[in-house]
A and B are shown apart, each in its own frame.
Chain A
């Protein structure tokens, strides 16, 4: 399927129906997730702040997921020199940055009442902040290099270097003595949180994933057209 979609024309035809479909499914899941987020009882320890986690955890998960998409597309662009992969990588970066900003801000709103501080230089928080810097660096580098082919190559290398940070973020709560709680859903012994909280988390996470999928397709389409417009403008200019 990936090989078939590597053709920009085929990708445009596919994404034309896939993007609205993913967007509609995301809207339904987010609405259901929002409803469940405010229907569950308050946590016996965290009280009402547990509801913050239904917005924070999916955003944090998506910040990593989007970076994996960015790094994967960058790898294909760098190794196979495929323009569509470069376009997909460029399209993923602002979305990933948006989810990372959300994860950091919503996390701070949870941390203040629970930890007594908006921010602590905890390994999980610090590595997540570094992730944001990689996203911003990627977009900055892209804007700074005028030659698009060179920019794509330099950005792909930066994205692959930054991929080292993804397992660091994930395992930071295991490797270091972290204030941030450890893995509480995908553990060997099953989820450590009450079943009633799994539904809003699951619905919101799936909604965020589908929304990212929809917007990634839309932005990749935009990037294909931007490159095409650039080529047409250069051709017209002689």
Chain B
């Protein structure tokens, strides 16, 4: 059974999970975005599309 009623602690529990999700998603998005951006830049500068 899942407990979703946090009672009087709801204002402390839910923000923790919301903030954790936001920070982790930012980490994922920023990391993937950087990798994509620099790989494209290398491809653009070298004209080589067959990199690992």
**A-side interface residues toward B, CB under 8 Å?**
9, 12-13, 16, 23, 34-35, 38-42, 47-49, 51-52, 55-56, 59, 94-95, 98, 101-102, 105-106, 109-110, 112-113, 211, 215, 218-219, 221-223, 225-226, 228-229, 232-233, 236
Other-chain residue from B13, B23, B28 in contact with A49 (beta carbon distance below 8 A): B13
Excluding A49-B13, A102-B23, 4 further A-B contacts by CB distance (< 8 Å) are: A48-B7, A109-B16, A225-B35, A226-B34
Q: B45 near A236 (CB under 8 angstroms)?
A: yes
A35 cross-chain contacts in B, Cβ below 8 A: 2
Q: A38 near B45 (CB under 8 angstroms)?
A: no
Q: A16 near B12 (CB under 8 angstroms)?
A: no
Contacts A39-B3, A47-B7, A98-B26; is A218 near B45 (CB within 8 Å)?
no
Q: A55 near B16 (CB under 8 angstroms)?
A: yes
Q: What does the 1/0 interface line of B17-32 toward A look like (CB < 8 Å)?
A: 1011001101110111
A112 cross-chain contacts in B, Cβ below 8 A: 12
B interface residue count range (under 10 / 10 to 19 / 20 to 34 / 35 or more): 20 to 34
**B-side interface residues toward A, CB under 8 Å?**
1-4, 6-7, 9-10, 12-13, 15-17, 19-20, 23-24, 26-28, 30-32, 34-35, 37-39, 41-42, 45-46, 51-52
SS class, residues of chain B in contact with chain A: helix
Of A52, A110, A219, most buried by chain B (CB within 10 Å of CB) is A52
SS class, residues of chain A in contact with chain B: helix
Query: 25 A-B contacts, Cβ less than 8 Å apart?
Result: A12-B52, A34-B17, A41-B3, A48-B7, A48-B10, A51-B13, A52-B13, A55-B16, A55-B17, A56-B16, A98-B26, A105-B16, A105-B19, A106-B16, A109-B15, A110-B12, A113-B12, A218-B31, A218-B32, A225-B39, A225-B41, A226-B38, A226-B41, A229-B41, A232-B45
Q: B13 near A219 (CB under 8 angstroms)?
A: no
Q: A98 near B17 (CB under 8 angstroms)?
A: no
Other-chain residue from A23, A38, A109, A211 in contact with B12 (beta carbon distance below 8 A): A109
Q: B31 near A219 (CB under 8 angstroms)?
A: yes
